[in-house]
Amino acid sequence: MSKYKRNAGTKWTPAQERQLKKLAEENTPTSVIGFKIGRSENAIRSKASELKVSLKPTNQSPYNRG
């Protein structure tokens, strides 16, 4: 049984695209983004590439987090 909602094959909504961009900017791991949006990690990577959103974490010091 899958831990994701069954969104496979369904069209991405503008709200899901905005959420993907926001979570990527916050350096959220791909697996967590997938869980929150209800998509697989491969779907997240594919859509991020399509939207030209980087999923690579930015170098941030752990001491500067609020």
Domain layout of the chain by residue ranges: 14-50
What's this model's pTM, rounded to 2 decimal places?
Answer: 0.76
- DSSP code per residue over 2-56: -SS-S-TTSPPPHHHHHHHHHHHHTT--HHHHHHHHT--HHHHHHHHHHTT---S
Digit-coded pLDDT (tens) for 8-40: 788 999 999 999 999 999 999 999 999 999 999
